[in-house]
């Protein structure tokens, strides 16, 4: 005798005992959960990237600060302590032998009296430090090295050639009663009238300036 009673668990199947539309909905929910699970770590990854970016910004700022805080020394305003000037010349001459004089054009125009010319020493000091920044500094780069080769070094060579290229040690010596060529500090023109000019510019710049002392208007000596 057959029974008309329905089974206790109708539609039991693989999807937790459900089949048909309910099973499909369960599969959809499960798929969405698998797609969303990887996104749960996204906020943490964004925070991590933000931290990396902040550290990178601090590093760049630190490099720029160090670079700006380390200017090249100057020979023209070097300390009056002989130990300091000796150390500076020692470093410079070592660099000249190792780097600068390796370039034929630089060696050809550097006179043997170069150290008697403060302007030449000044040029070579900054060029040495530009080389160091390009090759050894915290911001050393191919671009800086290229600029040193293409613009900075040729510029110094050109100015040395123009200014002292024909000079020699003999010209700095006393020969035949001729006074030696010495590198003395130049006198600033009109130094004695600086206060007068300053007062005129501050209080009466719309009027005619004071006449140069010791000269007439047309430039002839009084």
Residue boundaries of the structural domains of the chain: 23-69, 82-172
Token duo for residue 12: 């039991």
Token pair, residue 144, equals 């800086």
What pLDDT was estimated at residue 61?
Answer: 58
What is the reported pLDDT for 35? 73
Q: Is 59 helix (H, G, I), strand (E, B) or coil?
A: helix
Which pLDDT score is estimated for 146?
97
Query: What per-residue confidence (pLDDT) applies to 13?
Result: 47
**Helices within 1-41 (DSSP H only):** 21-36
Q: Name residues of the chain where pLDDT drops below 50.
A: 1-2, 11-16, 63-69, 216-222
């Amino acid at each position: 005798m057959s029974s008309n009673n329905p089974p206790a668990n109708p539609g039991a199947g693989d999807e937790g005992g459900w089949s048909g539309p309910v099973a499909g909905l369960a599969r959809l929910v499960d798929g969405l959960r698998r797609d969303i699970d990887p996104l749960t770590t996204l906020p943490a990854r964004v925070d991590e990237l933000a931290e990396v970016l902040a550290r990178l910004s601090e590093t760049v700022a630190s490099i720029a600060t160090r670079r700006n805080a380390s200017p090249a020394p100057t020979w023209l305003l070097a300390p009056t302590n002989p130990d300091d000037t000796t150390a500076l010349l020692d470093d410079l001459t070592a660099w000249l032998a190792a780097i600068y004089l390796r370039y034929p054009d630089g060696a050809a125009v550097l006179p043997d009296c170069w150290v008697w010319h403060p302007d030449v020493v000044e040029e070579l000091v900054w060029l040495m430090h530009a080389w160091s920044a390009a090759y050894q500094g915290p911001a050393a780069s191919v671009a800086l090295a290229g600029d040193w080769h293409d613009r900075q070094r040729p510029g110094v060579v050109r100015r040395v050639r123009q200014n002292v290229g024909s000079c020699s040690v003999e010209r700095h010596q006393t020969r035949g009663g001729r006074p030696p060529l010495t590198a003395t500090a130049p006198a600033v023109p009109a130094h004695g009238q600086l206060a007068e000019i300053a007062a005129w510019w501050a209080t009466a710049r719309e009027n005619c300036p004071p006449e140069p002392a010791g000269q007439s208007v047309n430039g002839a000596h009084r």
